[in-house]
Amino acid sequence: MNERTELNTSRLIVAGSPQIHDALSTTKLNWLVAAGVAPAALWGFIQFGLPAVTVVLAGVGAAALTEAVLPKRVGSVRDGNAILIGLLMSLMFPPAAPWYLAAVSAVFAVGIVKWAFGGLGHAILNPAVAGRVLAQVLAPQEMSRYAIPLALGGGEFEHGATAVMAVRSAAGSVEPLQRLQELGYPRSVLDQAVTAWLNEHLFEPVGVVLPSGYVDPFIGLAPGGIGETSALLLLVASAVLLGRRVISWQVPLAFFAGFAAAIAVWGSVAFGGVALRGDVLFHSLHGGVLFLMFFCATDNTGAPATGNGMVLYGLAAGVLAAVLRLFGLYAEGLAVAVLVVSFFVPLINHVTKPARFGFSRRRRKPLLYKPRG
Amino acid sequence: MKLIHTFLKGGVFPPEHTRTARDAATWNAMIPARCVVPLLQHSGVPARRIVQRGQRVNEGAIIGAARAYESARVHAPIPGVVSEIIQLTLADGRQSEAVVIELDGEFQQLGRSIKPRDWRRLKNRRIYEQISDAGVVGLGGEGVPSHTKYVLPKTAAVEWLIVNGCESEPYLSSEYRLLRERPQQLVEGIQILMRLLSPKRTVIALAGHTRSAVSGLRGAVAAARSRIQLQRLAGKYPQGDEHTLVGSVAGRAVRGAATVADAGCMVIDVATVLAMYEAVLLGKPLVERTVTVSGGAIAQPGNLKVRLGASIGDLIEECGGFCAAPRKLVVGGPMRGHAVTDLTQPVTKLTSAVLALTEEELQSVGQTACVRCGRCVRACPMGLEPVMLHLLIAQHDWRAVVKAGVFDCTECGCCGFICPSGIPLVDQLKQAKSQIRREEHEDGERAH
Ligand code: SF4
Ligand code: SF4
């Protein structure tokens, strides 16, 4: 045997099959999702300035610290899970929320929702979502302080801090965008310019007119949660994560289907209109729906294990989110929808048990063929 | 030809090796000067050794006789002298006696062209004899002796004969090479089987990269005026497994614990068809097979025609040796193969590949706690819930483990491959199976 086939056997690994592994590990998954929301977070910092930075720092710091000081169960700070929890949670906060509220909620999320239930993999609710909901319950006033982006002049919109809140609180047109216009909701020049261009080149030839007001929330010039405002950044990030199979497609797709259907049916009714005339686009672009469905609802924790279960879970959460948006106590903070559906996950897992190969689905009996031996 | 089909539930997309061996022609490996020939190269009972130390053997002489019906003959791959009889641990962990032959004397078969026999004149019984005399076993899977597998089932007629032209695992390309290089022989071999089994439909299934062998095959089928059909399948792993393949091609779901023959389906891989062809037409015993040598640490990946009993070290040397430090040496494919540390391991009838994998290729993940992500559940083609099995196994609740379908697990490896927490799910499932079998056996003993 020549030197090219010399082998350092002490460096060889012997393990059972399979001998190779998929590129993703739990640690990588956490960091990849965190990287996915990072651009949206940066955009939030640019939009809302220092207050937003403090909220996120407080949330992430408190989450990491909690994980570090609590006795180890499973995992550690380095697996990125606690940091991801803190990050996702604080990105759903209004930029003007007090930083200590973010810190307290993060401690709750990591210390109670995750750790007290047994740590990584044992929690039954999504900690980030639970933290966000806790803050809403603790300080509903503070959690409604949404700032207008600095580019649109900063400050706070007097008729309800976000577009959705404004639409819900004031009377006026049935169409949400018109209602906003009547209230004098801030619009950027960009919005008008882009809408005009789109209409001229894209929509008019096919006989449709796009009302102005959709472009701002699409690129992210709107009041909202720190990381929730830019639909564009969130869509790009989730496309990348979906492509790498980091997040599932079942949950966001079903969530959107449920949400869109419910909004279409009741979206207009809520404002004195008729059924089936809801503005799906408006509601999808505003108020953190995309953030919730792509980054929070897709988290393992509090989600079902089976493919069909994920569809069911997504659908239910989507419909519930829409109902909360239209008729609930708080116009913002749809996160609670995810939390509620999580309670039903054991049931969902049970009814969507996968069909065993070669078994009939309903009776769970072997189809035709008996086992050998 | 129909649209591209596939099995519906589960499956994964493991990476292929970047420097694939697929495009280079199969070459003949050097004849080894020393062959280590295990007597257990198939599933079932080991062959009975019929040679002694010091005895001279011819090329192709019988050295192990089939001990029972579920056994297969073993032949001398090279002419020479039996220098030793040793005990050996095979790559798959089984123990076997092995005959060591030192090369000496004349080759009677190599390079000599034999006039093919006209198999159409032979009786079926004679054909089966030829197959069993040549020691043909399934070269793609567990090595079931072919004369026991491809017989008319008692319960059903053979409705589907499916020739498995899918690569059984990633990294492998030997099936593709055979499909490209020997389509006429393949078709003729299939015709033999069609006569033995008289299936209602005969299909060659191609998946992933073997799909591009379709044109050559079409020509060979047309030239033979055969009614063999070609079916293209998606390149998803484990497309080449019997159960998923029957699901994809025939649309029949057979639970993992049952044989597909019970559903009237016979699956045979390309290499085995060709071995049968050689056995029946040329009277050639099974003493060589095609092996893929690949992996990031191999200098020149390739497909080699190898005499059984050659060491895997010889093959690696022939492929230019290592070009990087291997972290895993695998006999078989990356999903089901066995990691070994020993370059003297012999090539057997079951050795589909020899892989030397680098650190980067392993992408190994340290074991952490299950995060209940359900990826294993969604990946399992048998519709099992590996995470549930994992929890039940930890509780030693064997009754529940059986009920949850552990014996339907085909050990395809999808769950262990995908689990982001690096839990050795397949190991646990295998161990649970043998534990349960052992306990059942002990209970049985006690009852007597
Ligand atoms: S190894 Fe068994 S349990 Fe795991 S995916 Fe394959 S069939 Fe399912
Ligand atoms: S893939 Fe691994 S971590 Fe995910 S549920 Fe299955 S066993 Fe648990």
Q: Quote the CA–CA distance of A153 and A6 in Å, as a whole number.
A: 70
Q: What is the pLDDT along chain B (448 residues), one digit of tens a residue?
A: 445 678 878 889 988 887 788 888 899 998 999 999 999 999 888 999 999 999 999 988 999 998 888 899 999 999 999 999 999 999 988 999 999 999 988 777 655 677 888 889 999 999 999 999 999 999 987 888 988 888 887 766 889 999 999 998 999 999 999 999 999 999 999 999 999 998 999 999 999 888 888 889 999 999 999 899 999 998 899 999 999 999 999 888 888 888 888 888 999 999 999 999 999 999 899 999 999 999 999 999 999 999 999 999 999 999 999 998 899 999 999 999 999 998 999 999 999 999 999 999 999 888 888 988 999 999 999 999 999 999 999 999 999 999 999 999 999 999 999 999 999 999 999 999 999 999 888 887 777 6
Confidence category of residue A365, pLDDT binned at 50, 70, 90: low
Pick the residue whose CA is nearest to atom 4 on ligand 2. Answer: B373
Q: Nearest to residue B411, comparing CAs of A364, A355, A16?
A: A16
Q: What is the spatial distance between Cα B88 and Cα A128, in angstroms, rounded to a whole number? A: 56
Whether residue B314 is found in the same domain as residue B230: no
Please answer whether residues A110 and A130 qualify as being in contact, where contact means their C-beta atoms are separated by less than 8 angstroms. Answer: no
Probe site for chain A from B255, B260, B402, B423 (most A CB atoms < 10 A): B255
Q: What is the DSSP letter of B346?
A: B
B312 & B262 share domain? no
Q: Which of A245, A345, A357 to mutate to test the interface with B (most CBs of B within 10 A)?
A: A357
Per-window interface: B 288-317 vs A, CB < 8 A: 299, 313, 316-317
CB of B430 within 8 Å of a chain A CB? The answer is yes
Measured between alpha carbons, how far is B73 from B76 in angstroms, rounded to an integer? 10
Please list, in sequence order, all residues whose beta carbon lies within 8 angstroms of the beta carbon of residue B233, skipping any fewer than 6 positions away: B4, B5, B6, B166, B205, B206, B207, B208, B211, B239, B245, B248, B249
CA dist B176 and B192 (Å) reads: 21
> Which A residues in the span 277-316 are in contact with B, Cβ-Cβ below 8 Å?
300-301, 303-307, 309-310
Give the residue-averaged pLDDT of A191-202: 89
d(CA B158, CA B203): 13
Is the same domain home to B441 and B344? no
| φ, ψ at A220 (rounded to 5°) | 110, 30
Order of strands, sheet of B338-340, starting from the edge strand that comes earlier in the sequence: B27-28, B302-307, B288-294, B353-357, B328-331, B338-340
Q: How many CB atoms lie within 10 A of CB B391?
A: 16
CA angle B426, B427, B430 (to 5 degrees): 85
Segment A278-298 shows an average pLDDT of 91
Cβ-defined contact of B368 to A75 (cutoff 8 Å): yes
Q: Which residues constitute the domain of residue B207? A: 2-15+112-282
**Unique residue bearing structure tokens 């004349």:** B106
Please tell me whether residues B165 and B263 are part of one structural domain. yes
Q: φ and ψ at A354, to 5 degrees?
A: -65, 150
Same domain? For B82 and B224 the reply is: no
Contact residues, chain B, for A28 at CB < 8 Å: 420
- Give the pairing of strands B201-207 and B229-233: parallel
Q: Is there a single domain that holds both residue B203 and residue B351? A: no
- Indicate which residue's Cα is closest to atom 1 of ligand 2: B419
Give the closest of B370, B374, B417 to A18, CB-based: B417
Residues 32-91 of B with CB under 8 A from A: none
For chain A, what is the mean pLDDT? 87
- Residue closest via CA to ligand 2's atom 3 equals B370
In a domain, B23, yes or no: no
Tell me the average pLDDT across A332-351: 89
Q: What type of residue sits at position B96?
A: S
DSSP 8-state code for residue B354: E
Q: What's residue A372's pLDDT?
A: 43
| CATH classification at residue B269 | 3.40.50.11540
Tens of pLDDT, residues A213-265: 888 899 998 888 999 999 999 999 999 999 999 999 999 999 999 999 999 99
Asked if B409 and B256 touch (Cβ cutoff 8 Å), the reply is: yes
Q: Give the atom of ligand 1 at the shortest distance from the alpha carbon of B425.
A: 4
Contact A16 B381 (CB under 8 A): no
Looking at the complex, does the CB of residue A121 fall below 8 Å from at least one CB of chain B? yes
Q: Are residues B209 and B270 in the same domain?
A: yes
Task: Show the CA angle centred on residue B111, arms to residues B302 and B304, nearest 5°.
Answer: 10
Are B10 and B137 in a shared domain?
yes
- All residues at 6 or more sequence positions from A116 whose CB lies less than 8 Å from its CB, including other chains: none
Ligand nearest to the CA of B429: 1
Beta bridge partners of B329: B340, B356
Res. A55 pLDDT band, cuts 50 70 90: very high
pLDDT value of position B110: 58
Closest of A132, A146, A129 to residue A101, by C-alpha: A132
Task: Say how many C-beta atoms besides its own lie within 10 A of residue B342's C-beta.
Answer: 15
Is pLDDT of A30 > 90?
A: yes
Give the per-residue pLDDT at B111.
59
Give the per-residue pLDDT at A371: 44
CB-CB neighbours of B118 under 10 Å:
8
Helix (H, G, I), strand (E, B) or coil at B21: coil
Residues 333-362 of A with CB under 8 A from B: 353-359
Q: Kindly give the number of the ligand 1 atom that is closest to the alpha carbon of B408.
A: 7
> How far, in Å, CA of A277 to CA of B187, rounded?
63
Mutate to test the interface with B, among A76, A359, A369 (most CBs of B within 10 A): A369
Listed residues B235, B264, B282: the one ending a domain: B282
Residue after which a domain boundary falls, among B109, B133, B150: B109
Please tell me the residue having the least CA distance from ligand 1 atom 4. Answer: B415
**Residues of chain A contacting residue B366, judged by C-beta atoms under 8 Å apart:** 25
Q: How far is the CA of A57 from the centre of ligand 2 (A)?
A: 31
Answer yes or no: is B26 within a domain.
no
Cβ–Cβ gap B355/A119 under 8 Å = no
3-state secondary structure of A25: coil
Q: Which atom of ligand 1 is nearest to the CA of B389?
A: 3
Distance from CA of A263 to the nearest CA of B (A): 30
The DSSP element (H or E) to which A182 belongs, if any, is helix A176-183
Beta carbons of B228 and B203 less than 8 angstroms apart: yes
Q: Give the percent of chain A with pLDDT over 90.
A: 49
Taking the CA of B256 as reference, the closest ligand is 1
Same domain, B338 and B304: yes
Task: State how far the Cα of B245 lies from the Cα of B251, in Å rounded to an integer.
Answer: 9
Of residues A56 and A16, more confidence is placed in A56
Please tell me whether residues B429 and B317 are part of one structural domain. Answer: no
- In a shared domain, residues B233 and B253: yes
Candidates A171, A183, A134, A168; CA nearest to A324 is A168
Structure tokens, B279 = 């056995």
Query: Above pLDDT 70, what percent of chain A?
Result: 95
B162 lines ligand 1 (CB under 6 A): no
For residue B427, list chain A residues with Cβ-Cβ distance below 8 A.
15-17
Whichever domain contains B36, its CATH number is 2.40.50
User: Which ipTM was obtained for this model?
Assistant: 0.88
Q: pLDDT band at residue A152, thresholds of 50, 70 and 90?
A: confident
Strands of A219-281 (E only): list them: none
Q: How far apart are CA A113 and CA A126, in angstroms?
A: 8
The answer on B135 and B7 residing in a single domain is: yes
Please report, as a single letter, which amino acid is at residue B235: G
- For chain B, the domain total comes to 4
Bridge-based pairing of strands B302-307 and B265-269 is unpaired
**pTM for the model:** 0.90
Phi/psi region, residue B363 (left: phi>0; alpha: psi -120 to 50; beta: rest), is left
Strands B80-89 and B95-103: antiparallel
Where do the domains of chain A lie? Answer: 26-144, 247-350
Torsion angle in degrees (nearest 10) through CA of A229, A233, A238, A240? -170
> Which atom of ligand 2 approaches the CA of B379 most closely?
1
Q: Pick from A92, A89, A29: which is nearest to A60 by CA?
A: A89
Ligand 2: which atom is nearest the Cα of residue B425?
A: 7
Chain B residues in contact with A369 (beta carbon < 8 A): 254-255, 258-259, 262-263
Domain-located, residue B419: yes
In angstroms, rounded to a whole number, what is the distance separating the alpha carbons of residues B36 and B308?
8
pLDDT tens-place string over residues A291-314: 999 999 999 888 999 999 999 999
